[in-house]
Chain A
Amino acid sequence: MDAPQVGEFAHIGKSVVIKGELSGSEDLYVDGNVEGSIDLRNHSLTVGPNGNVKANVSAKAVVVQGKLDGSVNASERVDLRKSAVVNGDVTTQRIAIEEGAFLKGKVDIQKEAGRAAGLAST
């Protein structure tokens, strides 16, 4: 995923540093540093190539191109792009991992009732 157009996402630029609890009801693109926790419930989080997130993350969908230290709980799907470095456990229904992505942690695929869970490779 390329960097989103302004207006589509809330955007945290690469020179921004945030420490604390981050929550919201819109999609979020993080290309800076976030330390704490991120809770987006029904929205998506994208960690950009310059992003460095040290937080437990809860969102509908999580896309990682940069670095993420912490557990990831995505109700729908997780995409680890080729430059992703993730240290933490991942809980989701679907996960896609590009060649070159690094994951250190547990992958727990949650099966939604009436729907087969899947894992997509790229």
Chain B
Amino acid sequence: MASVSDNVMRFFRNSSNHTVTPAVPQKLTRRSSGMGEISRLLNSQDGLCVLDMGATSANNIRFFTNKGHKNYSEDLLRSSLDPALRMKDDSGNSVVDSKKFLDENLLYSNAQFDVVLCWNLSDYMEESLVKPTIDRLWSVMKPGGLLLAFFHTRDAGPDSICYRYHVTDTDMLEMQEVKFAPPGRPASDKQSPRLQRVFNNRHIENLFRDFASIKFFLARDAIREVLVVR
């Protein structure tokens, strides 16, 4: 006859054999100084126009609309991967048609937005689209409006995971890995977009040279937050 302790041990051994751990996506959070500054603006005024250029996020829509602001969503990274935008240049290389891209995206009135959230778009978007996109953003932002962008530092490495950002509090963000299926591939073939380049401080200053001011926040996770005033 088995002892009580044998039965207890058998119970745990059996339960461990049958336990299936569900694959729960890891949720990472980060404190954002830039988002903190934007939240101060959002808390001080009503009816601001916010353009969120990350993947559609219920969190972000809730955060902004609960404060009485208007939320516009436009997932520009996903739009930039549209195969219909690709064309051949003079050398026969496949490139993205930046003119067509801007004919179909970011179609807003001049000086419409008080806040623009670029997140890490510039690091993952095709090179030829980055400057025209920033120039278009300058046009659609109000003078004095704020733009928040994240840039990787070299320490991040080329295989850095592309995250989307959900605002959970005034200066807290939840990070979730972004994955897309390449054009023409099934949804099961989703991949994280590749980091296209790493901007140094001078590149970033040049990118936003038409804006009124720029402020850098360095973080420990190999990300520079950049808060730009139009």
Residues on A close to B: CB < 8 A?
80, 95-97, 101-109, 117, 119-122
Proximity string of chain B (55-80) to chain A, C-beta cutoff 8 Å, 1 when within and 0 when not:
11111011001100011111100110
Cβ of A101 and Cβ of B56 under 8 Å apart?
yes
Distance of A107 Cα from B56 Cα, bound (Å): 11
Closest B residue to A116 by CB, please name it.
Answer: B66
With A97-B56, A101-B56, A119-B66 as given contacts, are A106 and B61 in contact (CB-CB < 8 Å)? Answer: no
Cβ of A103 and Cβ of B73 under 8 Å apart?
yes
Residue of B55, B57, B58, B72 touching A105 (CB-CB under 8 A): B72
Distance of A117 Cα from B71 Cα, bound (Å): 15
Cβ of A106 and Cβ of B58 under 8 Å apart?
no
Residue of A80, A96, A102, A106 touching B71 (CB-CB under 8 A): A106
Residues on B close to A: CB < 8 A?
55-59, 61-62, 65-66, 70-75, 78-79
Residues of chain B within 8 A of A107, CB atoms compared: 61, 65, 70-73
Distance of A96 Cα from B66 Cα, bound (Å): 14
Point out which of A97, A103, A117 has the most chain B C-beta atoms below 10 A from its C-beta.
A103
Interchain nearest-CB distance for A100 vs B (Å): 9
Cβ of A96 and Cβ of B70 under 8 Å apart?
no
Residues of chain B within 8 A of A97, CB atoms compared: 56-58, 61
Interchain nearest-CB distance for A102 vs B (Å): 6
Residue of A102, A109, A120, A122 touching B65 (CB-CB under 8 A): A109
Residue of B58, B72, B74, B75 touching A119 (CB-CB under 8 A): B58
Closest B residue to A86 by CB, please name it.
Answer: B56
Residue of A96, A105, A119 touching B73 (CB-CB under 8 A): A105
With A119-B66, A121-B59, A122-B58 as given contacts, are A104 and B75 in contact (CB-CB < 8 Å)? Answer: yes
With A104-B75, A106-B71 as given contacts, are A119 and B65 in contact (CB-CB < 8 Å)? Answer: yes
Distance of A102 Cα from B77 Cα, bound (Å): 12
With A97-B56, A108-B70 as given contacts, are A102 and B62 in contact (CB-CB < 8 Å)? Answer: no
Residue of B62, B72, B74, B79 touching A121 (CB-CB under 8 A): B62
